[in-house]
Chain A
Amino acid sequence: QKEVEQNSGPLSVPEGAIASLNCTYSDRVSQSFFWYRQYSGKSPELIMSIYSNGDKEDGRFTAQLNKASQYVSLLIRDSQPSDSATYLCAVGTGTASKLTFGTGTRLQVTL
C-alpha cells in the first residue's frame, strides 16, 4: 500500500515568515513529486514539481527532495495571507502515472 503522509495542521505562521510543509512517502520506486495548493471549494493547482534530490526554487517557493529519507518538503518564503490554503503532497511512479496524494496540510498565514 503506497502511502503519503502529511501533518494535517493547521500550520499557523505570521505574514512575512517562512512556512515549512513536510511530506513522507512509502514507495521507494517513486520518481515524481508534486505540491498542489487547494483553496477551499476549489480544485488543486500545481505549484511545484521535483524529480531529483536537492532543492528546486520557483519564486517564493522551494521544494526539497531527499529520496534516501523518502522525504519531500515545501518552503514558502515571505508568506502572504493569500497563501492560506491546503497544500497537498503527491507522489507518482512514472510518466502519466496515477498520483498518490497525502491528506494535505492546512496553512494559515496570520496578519
Chain B
Amino acid sequence: GAVVSQHPSWVICKSGTSVKIECRSLDFQATTMFWYRQFPKQSLMLMATSNEGSKATYEQGVEKDKFLINHASLTLSTLTVTSAHPEDSSFYICSASASSYEQYFGPGTRLTVT
C-alpha cells in the first residue's frame, strides 16, 4: 500500500518553456501533498504544501507564480514550472499523506532545462 507515482520520470525542456509534473496517490486518498526539490548532494527542500481543493502554501523564497501547484482531487496534484530556466534544473519529488502522520514519496522527476 501507500504507492505514489510521478510522471514524467525525467524531462528535458528548452529555456522559457513550461513543464507540468503530475503526482498521483495510487491506493489511498491524499488529503495533503508536498512538493520538494533536491539539488545534487543536498537534502530535500520543501517547496510547497497543497491540500485538496485549496490554494497551496509556499515556503519562503519559493515563487508561487513560477511554480504553479494544483491539487484538484484527492489523488492528483500537479506542479507546473513556468518559464523554466537552467537554474530550475533539479530533482522534483512529491509526497502524499492521508489523515495520518506518514508521508510517502513518489519516485521523483528529473528536470533538465537547456
At the interface, yes or no: B43 with Cβ under 8 Å from chain A?
A: yes
- Which residues in chain B, 44-60, are within 8 Å of chain A measured between CB atoms? 44, 46, 49
Q: Which residues of A contact B98 (CB under 8 A)?
A: 96
State whether A96 touches B44 (Cβ < 8 A): no
Looking at A16-24, A39-47, A59-67, the stretch in contact with chain B turns out to be A39-47
Say whether A103 faces chain B, with CB atoms less than 8 Å apart: yes
A82-103 CB contact bits vs B (8 Å, 1 = yes)? 0000001010101111110111
Q: Is the Cβ of A96 less than 8 Å from the Cβ of B100?
A: yes
User: Which residues of A are found within 8 Å of B93, using beta-carbon distances?
Assistant: 43-44
Residues on A with beta carbons closer than 8 Å to the beta carbon of B91: 43
Interface positions, chain B 21-48, Cβ under 8 Å from A, are 31-32, 34, 42-44, 46
The answer to whether A42 touches B43, judged by C-beta atoms less than 8 angstroms apart, is no
Residues of B within 8 Å of A, CB-based: how many? 23
CA distance in complex: A31, B105 (Å): 20
CB distance from A110 to the nearest CB of B (A): 21
Interface of A is mostly: loop
Q: Is the interface of B mostly helix, strand, loop or mixed?
A: loop
Asked whether B77 is an interface residue with its Cβ less than 8 Å from the other chain, the reply is no
Most B Cβ at <10 Å: residue of A45, A96, A99:
A96
B45 (CB) vs chain A CBs: closest residue: A101
A90–B103 CA distance with the chains assembled, in angstroms: 10
Given contacts A96-B32, A103-B43, contact A51 B101 (CB under 8 A): yes
CA distance A98 to B101 in the complex (A): 9
Instruction: Name the CB-closest residue of A to B33.
Output: A96
Chain A residues with CB under 8 A of B87: none
Within 8 Å by CB of B43, from A32, A43, A97, A101, lies A101
Q: B residues near A, CB below 8 A?
A: 2, 31-32, 34, 42-44, 46, 49, 91, 93, 97-108
